[in-house]
């Protein structure tokens, strides 16, 4: 187990982790993999999970038929990627590290918004007047002849 993960577990009591599954375990269906790995994961706040699930169901544009309700789902398995994401406590992290289907357990990165920076105006450059090999007489007459300005020869 990584020191960053163990530090996070000792400080907070739980941590969000990304689990890399071995290829033979990643080949399972998502439902079978979730059922077999769910014992190692935990839901840190039942009340928060219920609230988030209610908001997700209310704001969804259509009704989804899920085998399990959102609030009772401690782990999410992505079988095509060979990954599982969820929250673990100290015992769950140790059990995942000992599980023969698990290749690696790492803490999930903290996602945050990108801080905006001050916008600067772009420098406008002319790409046609300084082009090498272009005759100066064409560019000087282009400003006075409407046909050349539109790109139509006289």
pLDDT in tens, 73-109: 788 888 889 899 988 989 989 999 898 889 999 999 8
Is residue 69 domain-resident?
yes
Is residue 128 domain-resident?
no
Output the pLDDT for position 26: 59
Output the pLDDT for position 128: 54
Q: Mean pLDDT across the chain, nearest whole number?
A: 75
Is residue 82 domain-resident?
yes
Confidence (pTM): 0.59
Please name every residue paired with 85 in a beta bridge, in sequence order, or none if there are none.
Answer: 18, 76
| 111-116 average pLDDT score | 82
Q: What is the dihedral of CA 96, 86, 8, 102, to 10 degrees?
A: 20
Is residue 136 domain-resident?
no
| 22-39 average pLDDT score | 76
Question: Considering its fold, how many domains does the chain have in total?
Answer: 1
Alpha carbon distances (Å) from 56 to 16, 37, 49, 69, 137: 20, 24, 10, 11, 67
135 or 118, which is more confident: 118
119 or 68, which is more confident: 119
Domain that holds residue 90: 3-107
Is residue 9 domain-resident?
yes
Q: CB atoms < 10 A from the CB of 92, how many?
A: 23
Start-to-end CA span in the chain (Å): 77
Is residue 147 domain-resident?
no
Burial class (CB in 10 A: 0-12, 13-18, 19+), 19: buried
């Amino acid at each position: 187990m990584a020191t960053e993960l163990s530090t996070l577990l000792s400080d907070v009591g739980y941590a969000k982790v990304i689990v890399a599954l071995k290829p033979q375990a990643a080949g399972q269906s998502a439902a079978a993999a979730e059922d077999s790995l769910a014992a190692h994961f935990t839901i840190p706040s039942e009340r928060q999970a219920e609230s988030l699930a209610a908001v997700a169901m209310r704001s969804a544009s259509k009704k989804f038929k899920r085998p399990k309700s959102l609030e009772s789902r401690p782990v999410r398995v992505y079988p095509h990627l060979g990954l599982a994401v969820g929250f673990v406590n100290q015992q769950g992290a140790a059990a995942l590290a000992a599980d023969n289907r698990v290749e690696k357990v790492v803490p999930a990165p903290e996602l945050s918004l990108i801080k905006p920076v001050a916008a600067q105006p772009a420098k406008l450059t002319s790409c046609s007047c300084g082009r090498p090999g272009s005759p100066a007489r064409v560019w000087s007459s282009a400003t006075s002849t409407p046909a050349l300005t539109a790109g139509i020869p006289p």
